[in-house]
Amino acid sequence: MATTEVSTVILPRAPQGEFRNEPFTDFSRHENAHAMRDALRRVGDMLGHEYELIIGGERLRTEGKIISRNPARPEQVVGVHQKAGAEHADKAIHAALQAFDSWQYTSAEERASLLLNAAHIIRERKHEFSAWMVYEVGKNWAEADADTGETIDFLEFYAREALRLSRATTPIQLPGERDELLYIPLGVGAVIPPWNFPFAIMAGMTAAAIVTGNTVVLKPSSDSPTIAARFVEALEEAGMPGGVVNFCPGSGATFGNAIVAHPKTRFIAFTGSKEVGLDINERAAKAQPGQIWIKRTILEMGGKDSIIVSADADLDQAVSGVVASAFGFSGQKCSACSRAIVEEPIYDIFVERLREAVSKLTVGDPVENPNMGPVVNEGALKTMRQYIETGKTEGRLVAGGNLIQTPEKGYFLEPTVFADVPPDARISQEEIFGPVLAVLKAHDFDHALSIANNTEFGLTGAVYSHDRTSLGKARQQFRVGNLYFNRKCTGAMVGAHPFGGFNMSGTDSKAGGPDYLLLFTQAKSVAERLA
């Protein structure tokens, strides 16, 4: 797999002080912009290399291939990957089982040190990792930098959390006993991440699993296997033993289903669509011959997220927050604002201000750092265009709605806004996962809140208002896992905003929070009578 020689980091690392979020890079500074351009040039010279499967530390090649392409320039190959099939599932699971025999007994300090070593490696080559995402999934510089920063945060945060968990105690000690509460690993897990946060979510789920003593089979998205390969390379450089993470790109319908259904799979960590998440949940619930446990599913699925704009809101803040939430990374976030619910007294002026702000967004090749890059692939673009045609029958087209033609035939779409959309319209209810925003009119705050709660999802939401009564009502009644006041509904920060949603948005796993590692462990109570 590796295109550069890797070496093991010799010295183990310990956490340095309290956790602090990795700072964002200010690309308005000349030296930072120069460093990013240099990284893009260096990574550009590495595009097109071939990567192997890694099973039990062994590199393997397959006849079938997965070709990762630059969505801004589809003829440009980012990486060539082996395609794991159903026949590789048993081999990968048993390699992980073999590694689990020893990895489960390594100390929490050693496992945490692996994550901290990897965080150090990634921080030292931060722009290089970001550049891979610019090419592979079309993130602009700021979006890619935030993704890399969140990866570092997950590694640093989960390392500290694992150490905290290893020191857990029972609430009381009975007289004459030594009472312990141990959080032990589950076993072998399937980690199935998405393409839209191809570094942070992929690395976060993997890191949480292995730092608690589990081993995993990692099946990255077929749209973003290269950044996952680079992460596994960093783990190896940091000192990870073979078999702890088994790198297996492959089809969800064949390899993915096989590892989910395998009787030796103990848990599945998944982030992606509602449809796939529900299918995984159903497959995992069916006990297989030889299976001796109930499989655990850790699922983060879709969203249809709303921002409520009250009549008393600061319009500048509200417009800015809606635009950033709706069109950051071309709306390809489960947390993206896809519905702006605006109170009637300011509705018309809000729509006009929104139209003006959207008209100023730039769209283009993310190497050049516009506001928006391409959408991820041709299939996604086709789906978004179908929703836009539907939207023309359900609302009033205010901005966008057109393809952007480029000589490289990239997958570019204008940021699109529909106004006067009914709450039960398809574009009000169904996850589009692209730069398409519906604006809905509410009579008052109570009406706005009822509209915000009228979908099957419950991931993120925001309220722009300075009325404490309204904010208090939203705090109690807005049914989402992540709620924000007077700020955008995207950009959850590790530690500050544990992330996960309600209803069809998943199991509310709260990634980046103090409870997350518990999902990858089982509690064991040990009581010893003292002489």
C-alpha span between 298 and 259 (Å, rounded): 15
Instruction: Check: CB of residue 415 under 8 Å from CB of residue 361.
Output: yes
C-alpha span between 28 and 35 (Å, rounded): 12
Helix (H, G, I), strand (E, B) or coil at 60: strand
Beta bridge partners of 419: 396
Element (H, E) at 441: strand 436-442
Instruction: Check: CB of residue 438 under 8 Å from CB of residue 427.
Output: yes
Where are the chain's structural domains?
Answer: 33-170+179-301+509-525, 305-494
pLDDT tens sequence across 160-207: 999 999 999 999 999 999 999 999 999 999 999 999 999 999 999 999
Identify the DSSP state of 289. Answer: T
**Quick one: residue 484, left, alpha or beta (phi over 0 = left, psi -120 to 50 = alpha)?**
beta
pLDDT tens sequence across 51-110: 999 999 999 999 999 999 999 999 999 999 999 999 999 999 999 999 999 999 999 999
C-alpha span between 165 and 328 (Å, rounded): 35
- Catalytic residue, chosen from 150, 236, 248, 334, is 334
CATH superfamily of 305-494: Aldehyde Dehydrogenase; Chain A, domain 2 (3.40.309.10)
C-alpha span between 278 and 312 (Å, rounded): 40
> Which pLDDT band, with edges at 50, 70 and 90, does 11 fall under?
low
pLDDT tens sequence across 395-440: 999 999 999 999 999 999 999 999 999 999 999 999 999 999 999 9
Distances (CA, A) of 250 to 209, 227, 333: 20, 15, 23
pLDDT tens sequence across 475-527: 999 999 999 999 999 999 999 999 999 999 999 999 999 999 999 999 999 99
pLDDT tens sequence across 65-82: 999 999 999 999 999 999
Helix (H, G, I), strand (E, B) or coil at 247: strand
What does the buried/exposed string (b/e) look like for 399-430 if buried means 16 or more CB atoms within 10 Å of the residue's CB? bbbeeeeeeeebbbbbbbbbbebebebebbbb
What pLDDT is recorded for position 14? 87
What pLDDT is recorded for position 3? 41
CATH superfamily of 33-170+179-301+509-525: Aldehyde Dehydrogenase; Chain A, domain 1 (3.40.605.10)
pLDDT tens sequence across 196-251: 999 999 999 999 999 999 999 999 999 999 999 999 999 999 999 999 999 999 99
Has residue 8 got a pLDDT over 70?
A: no
What pLDDT is recorded for position 12? 81
| Residue matched to tokens 């608690």 | 212
Residue closest to 345 by CA, chosen among 471, 449, 442, 418: 442
Has residue 2 got a pLDDT over 50?
A: no
What pLDDT is recorded for position 496? 98
C-alpha span between 340 and 338 (Å, rounded): 7
- Reply yes or no on whether 334 is catalytic: yes
DSSP string, 183-211: EEE--EEEEE--SSSTTHHHHHHHHHHHH
Percent helix, percent strand, percent coil in the chain, to nearest 5: 40, 20, 35
What pLDDT is recorded for position 4? 39
DSSP string, 378-423: HHHHHHHHHHHHHHHHHSEEEE---EE--TT---EE--EEEES--T
Instruction: Say if 33-170+179-301+509-525 and 305-494 have the same CATH topology.
Output: no
C-alpha span between 480 and 129 (Å, rounded): 32
Instruction: Check: CB of residue 115 under 8 Å from CB of residue 207.
Output: yes
Has residue 157 got a pLDDT over 70?
A: yes
Helix (H, G, I), strand (E, B) or coil at 33: helix
Has residue 7 got a pLDDT over 70?
A: no
- Catalytic residue, chosen from 143, 233, 237, 300, is 300
> What pTM was computed for the model?
0.97
Average model confidence (pLDDT) for the chain? 97
pLDDT tens sequence across 317-335: 999 999 999 999 999 999 9
